[in-house]
Structure 1
Amino acid sequence: MNAPFVQTQSTSSQLAAHWEAGLYEKFSEHRTRPAIELLSKVTVEDPEYIADLGCGFGNVTRIMSVRWPQALFLGVDSSSDMLNAAEADGSEHMQWVNADISQWCPEKPLDLLLTNSLLHLLPHGQLLLKLVSFIRSGGQLAVQMPDGFDAPWYQLMLDVLSNGGAEGDPLGTPELQQQMAQPLVMDKRQYFDLLADKTTHLDIWDTEYLQVLEGIEPVFKWVNAAGLRPIVANLNRVETKLFLRAYRQRLLHAYPQCGDGRTLFPFKRRFIIATVG
């Protein structure tokens, strides 16, 4: 897997520097639904030790705590902004850990490890194998990742990087452009081949949601909360201004408002449930 942006510092640190809890939470209903559907496929019985890797502001951690009130939860994230929001509404059964995702490991084997909308931001082939190794026999790894590489909103990011300058010239470095042009989510068969001999059962599937968004420029607001972070982190101030102006204009053409003022935004996600023997 290729990294989604130039790694001048640790990947986890870069992610932390550009997450905004309030902006991300704006579409919490749409962002939480896939996690709920992922959890509906979890079959591990009476888990006692659960980790939410990339917990953000803790909404999914709290959903899990309702289903498994007896469990101890670890909410792990590299964003202090997100964790501060999570801790303000947590409980004594939840521990919040600020850690580099790629370096973190639990103190003891886990019954369930959930990572929701995170791994697509990281080189995650070897990371997945490490996460599986953290799970006890009979436990499960539950993964959900956005898979938007072929979608207009992502391809338009690549277009603007290639020709969004003042004279139609590229923005950012060739390295940034090359890395953003690499798919961040692997083929389903690749995940199967990677995990099959480390697990006793694999369930891998895709779902495309036809999201109905409201408000002014809702698709830009959605992407700006997360998808644009790797680009903004690697452009200077002038380049960022040029990029955002061109990108917003092109998004409006790609995702026009319906007659009732709402905007349709198809969005595909990849799901994995891996059961460890």
Structure 2
Amino acid sequence: MWNPDVYLAFADHRGRPFFDLLSRVGAQSPRRVVDLGCGPGNLTVTLAERWPDAVIEAVDSSAEMVEAARARGLDAKLSGIADWSPKPDTDVVVSNAALQWVPGHADMLVRWAGLLDPGAWIAMQVPGNFDAPSHEAVRTVARSDEFADALADMPFREADVVAAPTGYAELLADAGCVVDAWETIYVHQLTGDTPVLDWITGTALTQVRSRLDDDAWERYRQAIIPLLAQAYPMRRDGTTYFPFRRVFVVARVGG
């Protein structure tokens, strides 16, 4: 279960990669623009502002996120990304921090490139920090004796869940696209007593939270706090630096 309010607690930080991604999309007058994994829709609405004549299609697999997106006036659909196929008039496909949840997403990108008209755009961004101390802390506490039974079959994501920029570039170039791929490490300056925990509670810990009752969840939180504090110490001025690597790919179909 996704909580839009928790996710939006860091809306400014999470939004920056979206705009960095879209800045490289050169579509002028697209007919249909699709946001796959639209979340609460706060970023999707900016697509309508940029391309006011386009049909905006929004898709997310979380009922809570779809409800929040609809509250922003979007005609959001509840569906998994793996089940989506482009309509004939689709000119731009955007996916921001969502495809890492979809097994085999690299093959899906190639499939979309084969279905879209020449001149269409595919733009996606995925986190590339699954080997970061924050995710290692999530796995370490989950595998401790106290939580091993409840979380034993939890499919934690490892570093290879996403490819390097070169890997995506080669796949899409072989599919006939012109590709712009890169990676960026954002150093987020966070505030609060447990800012990194607050951040990952809205993303990486959503599945963990769904497996634990309130008491177990609080014990999990107390166990992970010192690990995160050691990996991401608070500075004297009260800020915490949280490095976050992201992988970007923008492809123009058909050269």
Partner amino acid, structure 2, of 1:176: M
Instruction: Give the conservation status (yes or no) of the 8 Å contact 2:166–2:181.
Output: no
The answer as to 2:112 corresponding to 1:135 is no
The 3-state SS of whatever aligns with 1:41 is coil
Q: 1:7 aligns to what?
A: none
Please give the alpha-carbon distance, in whole angstroms, between the structure 1 residues aligned to 2:5 and 2:151: 30
Please give the alpha-carbon distance, in whole angstroms, between the structure 2 residues aligned to 1:161 and 1:171: 9
Q: Unpaired runs of 5+ in structure 1?
A: 1-17
Please give the alpha-carbon distance, in whole angstroms, between the structure 2 residues aligned to 1:146 and 1:181: 12
Please give the alpha-carbon distance, in whole angstroms, between the structure 2 residues aligned to 1:237 and 1:69: 44
Q: 2:141 aligns to what?
A: 160
* 1:194-240 superposed Cα distances (whole Å, 9 cap, x missing partner): 22221330111000111011222111010000111233345677764
Match of 1:186 among 125, 143, 163: 163
Q: 1:36 aligns to what?
A: 19
Taking structure 1 as the reference length, the TM-score comes to 0.83
Instruction: Give the conservation status (yes or no) of the 8 Å contact 1:140–1:276.
Output: yes
Q: 1:272 aligns to what?
A: 249
The answer as to 2:224 corresponding to 1:247 is yes
Instruction: Give the conservation status (yes or no) of the 8 Å contact 2:70–2:76.
Output: yes
Q: 1:208 aligns to what?
A: 185
Relative to structure 1, the CA distance from residue 182 to residue 210 in structure 2 (aligned partners, 3 Å threshold; closer, same or farther) is closer
Please give the alpha-carbon distance, in whole angstroms, between the structure 2 residues aligned to 1:181 and 1:234: 19
Q: Unpaired runs of 5+ in structure 2?
A: none
The answer as to 2:174 corresponding to 1:197 is yes
Relative to structure 1, the CA distance from residue 89 to residue 256 in structure 2 (aligned partners, 3 Å threshold; closer, same or farther) is same
Please give the alpha-carbon distance, in whole angstroms, between the structure 2 residues aligned to 1:238 and 1:252: 22
The 3-state SS of whatever aligns with 1:46 is coil
In the TM superposition, what is the alpha-carbon distance from 1:244 to its structure 2 partner? 2.8
Q: 1:6 aligns to what?
A: none
Taking structure 2 as the reference length, the TM-score comes to 0.90
The 3-state SS of whatever aligns with 1:126 is helix
Please give the alpha-carbon distance, in whole angstroms, between the structure 2 residues aligned to 1:191 and 1:27: 28
Partner amino acid, structure 2, of 1:248: I
In the TM superposition, what is the alpha-carbon distance from 1:122 to its structure 2 partner? 1.6
Partner amino acid, structure 2, of 1:244: R
Relative to structure 1, the CA distance from residue 52 to residue 159 in structure 2 (aligned partners, 3 Å threshold; closer, same or farther) is same
